[in-house]
Amino acid sequence: QSTLKSPTTDAYPDWKAGDLVPYAALCTTFSKIEMTSKRLEIISLCSLFLRQVMRLTPADLLPTVLLMTGKLAADYAGIELGIGESLIMKAIGDTTGRSLKIIKEDQQKIGDLGLVAAKSRSNQPTMFKPKPLTVRGVHEGLMKIAITEGQGAQGRKVDGIKKLLSSADVGLAKGQTVDISENKGGPSESKFIIRALEGKMRLGLADKSLQVALAHAMVAHSVAEDGKKVPSEADLKKGEEVFKAVYNELPAYEVIVPALLKGGIWKLRDECKLQAGVPLKPMLAKPTKSITEVLDRFEGKDFTCEYKYDGERAQIHFVAHDSVDGYASTIAPKEGKSDRGVSNIFSRNSEDLSKKYPDILAKLPSWVKQGTKSFVLDCETVAWDVEKKHVLPFQQLMTRKKKDVKVEDVKVKVCVFAFDLLYLNGEALVNRPFRERRDLMYAVFDEVEGEFSFAKFGNSRDIDEIQILLEDSVKASCEGLMVKMLDGVESHYEPSRRSQNWLKVKKDYLAGAGDSLDLVVLGAYHGKGKRTSVYGAFLLACYNPSTEIYETVCNIGTGFSEALLAELHDTLSPLVIDRPKPFYSHSAVPKDQPDVWFEPRFVWEVKTADLTLSPRYTAAASELGGDAAGHKGVSLRFPRLVRVRDDKKAEGATTSRQVAEMYRAQSEQGKEKKVGVDDE
Ligand code: ATP
């Protein structure tokens, strides 16, 4: 059904064509989005607003879209908010003249800092009406706060927050109070500014929904320009597809929005293509439990089994100086300059790793055949023992410095293992068969022992041969195999998808332990006995990206050495917060409460014996028929810490859906084992 029935009925009264978009107008839309959980309605509200921006103030489309995403720039720009609670509370106190003590008390009562700010502001007598905030102004203000660093940064950040808050409207009519019972608080500007600062908008607006909304708004705009009233369903669908295809290859609104403004939706595919300098989200793999499962899945198809190296995902981008396509027309820093060209390395989360791996960038030109104009290469960087000439464990790689590494100081050498080529000489290869991409990769690069190699592989379909390959990979310090389709559409590179066409077979699965989980540390319990000065156990959670909520999944106290516990106490203590964040879903039973709660910062890889359902945890509860406070979420039995994952952010943790899938897969597999419900 059409999402754009009456594109002009909802205009904000003070917003005229050519005006900067009022922030209040955006907050009104945020508030409406927040009030519903229906996806189509959310898309419709969002699209309606974007359509108005197109009609009245197209120049503000980019900051509007960015504020809707809750991010200030594309991931690779490295600009992050996630400001800590203490700074925000100080700014609220300073702006409203309320003491920190009262703010903290409110925070204890209300739980949501955004609502605390709204309430504090609504209690404040206003002498004069501040100049209204604009979307552009808020985006710039937040950006300034995010990029402030160096001496006195904290103070300047607080000043920046105060500046925004003091102009913010509370969004209440005279005499109206903030409705905290509903945990909504209306279209208060203060509330949404605080949420943006916290890095969690919690509107229920998923990235995918925003993409659909923007596509719909652009289709409606083009239809209106052609003199028609309402776009057809077919046009809306086509617009969605165009947008999705473009965004997959080029996940950067900074590039897409200007192109949309220039040529509209129907020219977008020609204007915006994968380009060097803008990292695409990597393709991910599905876990499998046995080689026979792989054979069942890929029956009758040609596939390849590559070694699964245990290091860090790295997407290497390069453009030669004499290339016509130049480096991306974006804000990507031009890091690795050499005689041959410019290059960058991006992580699995699209962060720029160029300052971590200057040694790779320095050597890169020697692996690339002369005449190569540009490429994007998918690889794994692995720690390398130079003397013994073999791969070292992941832990070695983690000891490397993360920033401002100087080539001459590098102690842990790395070897790059390349497994896919996504772009070559100005052309995207993602929609070509893997066999072809791999042949091209072999044609363009030269191996150099200990510096650059192609991922080892075997193309067998024989179960015994695959078993031998798996054992060989483990002997070579790899984690197991990555099995990939070779031909046809199924072998195309699917950015940002955990695809059935890439299967991982890890050696550990075969022992029946299943895949590990990457979980966020939300809280901790004080140690007992010898461990009283440290935390002795921790509360962990998975992440539900569609609700932006962390859902608890286990307590863990195994796998920690005394030294590690001491270290964790030092790193976690500064993250202690007074009470759980409103975006933590957890048991309210007093005996289940951890002694301290943390900001969601750390991700740990955890192994488990099996998964069970429990009234104590909330992970995937609603998906598995639980909750309305009876919980029965998935919980991990006998969890054990494998490693701290510095390369993952909290939002990159294992998702609730994955946890549910793991639980279901286990139930399927262990039917005769009968996976029971743990009622404790
Ligand atoms: P997730 O669990 O979210 O999938 P992860 O980072 O824990 O991510 P795995 O699922 O264990 O990774 O495996 C996929 C990862 O394996 C890739 O992201 C990549 O970093 C690494 N890898 C190593 N060798 C290969 C290879 N030959 N092909 C593809 N990926 C490989």
Partners of 383 in beta bridges: 414
Take atom 18 of ligand 1 and give the residue whose Cα is closest.
313
Q: What is the CA radius of gyration of the chain?
A: 26
- Between 355 and 532, name the one with better pLDDT: 355
Does residue 50 surpass a pLDDT of 90? yes
Mean pLDDT of 462-471: 87
- In this prediction, residue 525 has a pLDDT band, given cuts at 50, 70 and 90, of very high
Per-residue CA distances from 231 to 4, 9, 48 (Å):
8, 17, 13
Does residue 166 surpass a pLDDT of 90? no
Most confident by average pLDDT, 56-70, 77-91, 661-675: 56-70
Handedness of CA 160, 163, 168, 170 (dihedral sign): positive
Relative to the CA of 284, which ligand 1 atom is closest?
4
C-beta of 308 in contact with ligand 1 (< 6 A): yes
Does residue 552 surpass a pLDDT of 80? yes
Relative to the CA of 484, which ligand 1 atom is closest?
28
- Please give the structure tokens belonging to residue 576: 């202690």
Poorest-pLDDT segment among 240-244, 281-285, 392-396: 392-396
- Between 597 and 77, name the one with better pLDDT: 597
- Between 115 and 249, name the one with better pLDDT: 249
Annotated catalytic residue, options 32, 90, 289, 308: 308
H or E stretch covering 53: helix 39-56
- Residue among 286, 380, 606 to mutate when testing ligand 1 (max atoms within 8 A of CB): 380
C-beta of 306 in contact with ligand 1 (< 6 A): yes
Mean pLDDT of 279-299: 88
Q: Indicate the residue type of 347.
A: S
C-beta of 313 in contact with ligand 1 (< 6 A): yes
Percent of the chain at pLDDT > 70 equals: 89
Cα gap 597→4, rounded to integer Å? 44
Per-residue CA distances from 349 to 255, 276, 652 (Å):
18, 16, 8
- Condensed to tens digits (0 to 9), the pLDDT of residues 404-446 reads 778 888 889 999 999 999 999 999 999 999 999 999 999 999 9
Q: Phi and psi for 221 in degrees, rounded to 5? A: -65, -45
- Please give the structure tokens belonging to residue 420: 């896919």
CA 303 to chain centre: 30
Cα gap 371→396, rounded to integer Å? 36
pLDDT computed for residue 391 by the predictor: 92
- Please give the structure tokens belonging to residue 628: 């309305």
Relative to the CA of 506, which ligand 1 atom is closest?
11
Of 477, 521, 514, nearest to 644 by C-alpha is 521
Does residue 140 surpass a pLDDT of 90? yes
CA of 485 to the centre of ligand 1 (A): 16
- Please give the structure tokens belonging to residue 41: 């309605």
Relative to the CA of 312, which ligand 1 atom is closest?
20
Cα gap 416→313, rounded to integer Å? 10
- Between 300 and 133, name the one with better pLDDT: 133
Characterise 638 by phi-psi region: left (phi > 0), alpha (psi -120 to 50), beta (else): left
Take atom 31 of ligand 1 and give the residue whose Cα is closest.
308
C-beta of 648 in contact with ligand 1 (< 6 A): no
Mean pLDDT of 509-520: 73
CA of 14 to the centre of ligand 1 (A): 51
pLDDT computed for residue 108 by the predictor: 83
- In this prediction, residue 3 has a pLDDT band, given cuts at 50, 70 and 90, of very low
Mean confidence (pLDDT) of the chain: 86
Active site residue 356: no
Enter the DSSP assignment of 6. -
CA of 285 to the centre of ligand 1 (A): 7
Relative to the CA of 313, which ligand 1 atom is closest?
20
Cα gap 662→498, rounded to integer Å? 14
C-beta of 285 in contact with ligand 1 (< 6 A): yes
CA of 352 to the centre of ligand 1 (A): 18
Of 166, 128, 132, nearest to 19 by C-alpha is 132
Poorest-pLDDT segment among 171-175, 281-285, 298-302, 370-374: 171-175
